[in-house]
Amino acid sequence: MHPAFSVIFFTTCSGAGYGLLAMMGILGAAGMLPADRWMGLAGLFFALALVSVGLLASTFHLGRPERAWRALTQWRSSWLAREGVMAVLTYIPAALLGLGWVWFEDTSGLWAVAGVVSAILAWLTVICTAMIYKSLRTIHQWHNDWTVPSYLLLSVMSGAVLMSVLIHLFGVENAYIQGLTVVTLALGWGLKTMYWSFNKRSKGLPTVNSAIGIDAAGDVSVLELPHTSANYLMKEMGYKVAQKHADKLRVISHLTGFALPLAFSALAMLVDGYAALACVVLAWGLCSLGIIVERWLFFAEAKHSVNLYYGATSV
Amino acid sequence: MTSLPTSTNKKLGLVIDLDTCVGCHACATNCKEWNTGGHSAPLPDFNPYGAEPDGVWFNRVHSFEVKRGDRPNLTINFPRSCLHCDNAACVTVCPTGASYKRSEDGIVLVNTDKCIGCKLCSWACPYGAREFDTDEGVMKKCTLCVDRIYNENLEPEDRQPACVLTCPTGARHFGDLNDPESEVSQLTAARHGRDLMPELGYKPTNKYLPPRARKVDSVDVGAPEELEAIEADGFLGWLDKVLSK
């Protein structure tokens, strides 16, 4: 699949935003973060800014962005519509949480409920995003049990890395929160490694023989294409990434997305002051880069079944 | 709502004979010609005489070669268009309700006034039936010539999809695949018509008829296996001797 910049930017940026929002909601409700105006403002503003910029970017790839509101109507059948509805609904408890935290400097009672609801809706939005991909039977690399947990855990992980920066900036270091960041990075790394290893050994069911209805008659190869230059299908679904480049990018993603942020996040627990702040900022910067590479691979390595008509023998 | 109808009264579709298709592209050409003025008009046609022509087509004709071991290779000309599936995921993924399947005849259509151009339906189609119109910013697809088959301004015999009418070898057939007595259903049964990529579970309406078994050896008509050698003499005999050295 063609790795469109707008969709990569949307899923990584909003993913991190929803992750941070959920962290703010849960940790705020649990009283693990100070009910301080500036803490609330910084955390929630940054979370909602990431979410909103990402959502806005996702409309850039539409052919008719002015009709984007129509995408909220078919929630009964479409995961894309459900994602849109959830994204809009999430703003309501998030705004209430912000009102309590920033205006009243209170994260207990009803404001805590708003925090928990924000977290649940944020996670549901990310699950809906992942389900858009998971539900496509045409793409085996997405239509498997690893896609949804990967999206959810990577969102939680991106949020935790951001939360680490926030608590160090405000000087409210907390071993439990920093420990959570380390644990989510380790879990995220493990899960994504399993996702990649699954897609390395597993193939989709359709073959070029079943695609043209000639089963078991022999080896089928393309004799002539229907058109002399690339059409929409070849441009959108025919994206090919060289295996050596993919392998190199995967190493970069392993290192910058998971291994180094894990090391720096753990190191931040052993040092303090500016050294700890430098560690968590580095972890965040590296992790963001690694997750963008990971998302690029998610699209570039997805093989759509239509490729069977254009020379692929398996997908 | 972009939910699928639980059942459709008719299942209008095509039966395509891979045995008789010669890959002339006439169906694709007439499809483009009719539909650039039809239900989803216009179909963009960028740089048609240049090096990189591009645009929306509802029908594309591929050619494949099948290697069959010691038997001769087989050429398969394969026209590819919307299969108007029972289980059309292109409809259910649509977030706006622009994509829909008609309960009366099973035809899958796009309402281009509601389409936001998110392209998800084209991702959900295993067969590549949908092509994006970059000019209008909306998705387009085969309409099964919905503007021909019910068109009372046309003669009854012309109320068929443009691709079917134009096929010079009669490789394309149109009818109701829900009716077991229809010509297309009978043909499908007799020739063991196939679903494409049945493993994905889209339950396509259109069927493809695989090529019939072909004779490898010629029929015995009583002619000798080899021509008899003749003995030449005189000048020709000498020439034969010289050239045979």
pLDDT of residue B1: 54
CB pair distance less than 8 Å for B119 and A225: no
CA gap B148, B142 in Å, rounded: 12
CA distance B228 to chain A (A): 39
Token pair listed for A215: 């089963």
CA gap A189, A198 in Å, rounded: 14
CB pair distance less than 8 Å for A137 and B57: no
Whether residue B13 is predicted with pLDDT greater than 90 in this model: the reply is: yes
pTM: 0.92
CB pair distance less than 8 Å for B196 and A213: yes
Segments making up each domain of chain A, as ranges: 5-310
Q: Could you tell me the CATH superfamily of domain A5-310?
A: Formate dehydrogenase/DMSO reductase domain (1.20.1630.10)
* Segment (H or E) for A243: helix A243-252
Query: Cβ contacts (< 8 Å) between A74 and chain B: which residues?
Result: 1-2, 94-97
Query: Cβ contacts (< 8 Å) between B89 and chain A: which residues?
Result: 135-138
CB pair distance less than 8 Å for B118 and A61: yes
- Assess contact for A257 and A284: CB atoms under 8 A: no
Segments making up each domain of chain B, as ranges: 12-209
CA gap B166, B160 in Å, rounded: 10
A/B interface, count of CB pairs below 8 Å: 208
Decide if the complex's ipTM is over 0.90.
yes
Query: Cβ contacts (< 8 Å) between B96 and chain A: which residues?
Result: 67, 70-71, 73-74, 81
Q: Is B245 helix (H, G, I), strand (E, B) or coil?
A: coil
Q: Is B185 helix (H, G, I), strand (E, B) or coil?
A: helix
Q: Please state, for a pLDDT cut of 70, what percent of chain B lies above it.
A: 99
Token pair listed for A110: 């009803």
Q: Pick one of 3.30.70.20, 3.40.50.360, 3.90.580.10, 3.10.580.10 as the CATH number of B12-209.
A: 3.30.70.20
Question: Peptide bond before A149: cis, by omega within 30 degrees of 0?
Answer: no
CA distance A249 to chain B (A): 25
Residues 6+ apart with CB under 8 A from A110: A96, A100
Q: CA torsion angle for A157, A248, A301, A199 (degrees, to 10)? A: -70
Selected for mutation to probe chain B from A64, A237, A310 (highest B CB count within 10 Å) is A64
CA gap B140, A28 in Å, rounded: 48
- Compute the half-sphere exposure of residue A169: CA atoms within 13 Å on the CB side of its CA: 13
Output the CA–CA distances (angstroms, integers) from residue A235 to A64, A94, A241, B44, B170, in the order listed: 19, 39, 13, 16, 33
Q: Which has more confidence, A310 or B226?
A: A310
Residue A217 contacts B, CB cutoff 8 Å = yes
How many residues are recorded in chain A? Answer: 315
Q: Tell me the per-residue pLDDT of B143-161, one tens digit each, with 9 for 90 and over.
A: 999 999 999 999 999 999 9
Of B3, B64, B123, the CB nearest to A220: B64
Helix, strand, coil shares of chain B, percent, nearest 5, are: 20, 20, 60
Query: Cβ contacts (< 8 Å) between B64 and chain A: which residues?
Result: 208, 212, 214, 220-223
Residue B138 contacts A, CB cutoff 8 Å = yes
Strand partners, B139: B132
Contacts 24+ apart (CB under 8 A), A100-106: A101/A28, A101/A35, A101/A37, A101/A39, A101/A40, A101/A41, A101/A44, A102/A37, A102/A40, A102/A41, A102/A44, A105/A35, A105/A36, A105/A37, A105/A40, A106/A35
Tell me what the mean pLDDT of segment B201-227 comes to. Answer: 87
Q: Cβ–Cβ contacts within 10 Å for residue A226, how many?
A: 20
CB pair distance less than 8 Å for B131 and A233: yes
Q: CA torsion angle for A257, A258, A260, A261 (degrees, to 10)? A: 90
CA distance B165 to chain A (A): 20
CA gap A187, A206 in Å, rounded: 33
Tell me what the mean pLDDT of segment B75-86 comes to. Answer: 97
Strand partners, B66: A220, B74
pLDDT of residue B218: 75
CA gap B162, B11 in Å, rounded: 18
pLDDT of residue B70: 83
Selected for mutation to probe chain A from B67, B93, B132, B205 (highest A CB count within 10 Å) is B93
Q: What is the pLDDT along chain A (315 residues), one digit of tens a residue?
A: 999 999 999 999 999 999 999 999 999 999 999 999 999 999 999 999 999 999 999 998 899 999 999 999 999 999 999 999 999 999 999 999 999 999 999 999 999 999 999 999 999 999 999 999 999 999 999 999 999 999 999 999 999 999 999 999 999 999 999 999 999 999 999 999 999 999 999 999 999 999 999 876 689 999 999 999 999 999 999 988 888 899 999 999 999 999 999 999 999 999 989 999 999 999 999 999 999 999 999 999 999 999 999 999 889
Token pair listed for A253: 């993603």
Q: Is the dihedral of CA B27, A63, A6, A132 positive or negative?
A: negative
* Residue pointed to by tokens 């590549």: B128
Q: Tell me the per-residue pLDDT of B107-124, one tens digit each, with 9 for 90 and over.
A: 999 999 999 999 999 999
Query: Cβ contacts (< 8 Å) between B93 and chain A: which residues?
Result: 77-80, 132, 135-136
CB pair distance less than 8 Å for B197 and A224: no
Whether residue B79 is predicted with pLDDT greater than 70 in this model: the reply is: yes
- In the DSSP assignment, the letter for residue A207 is B
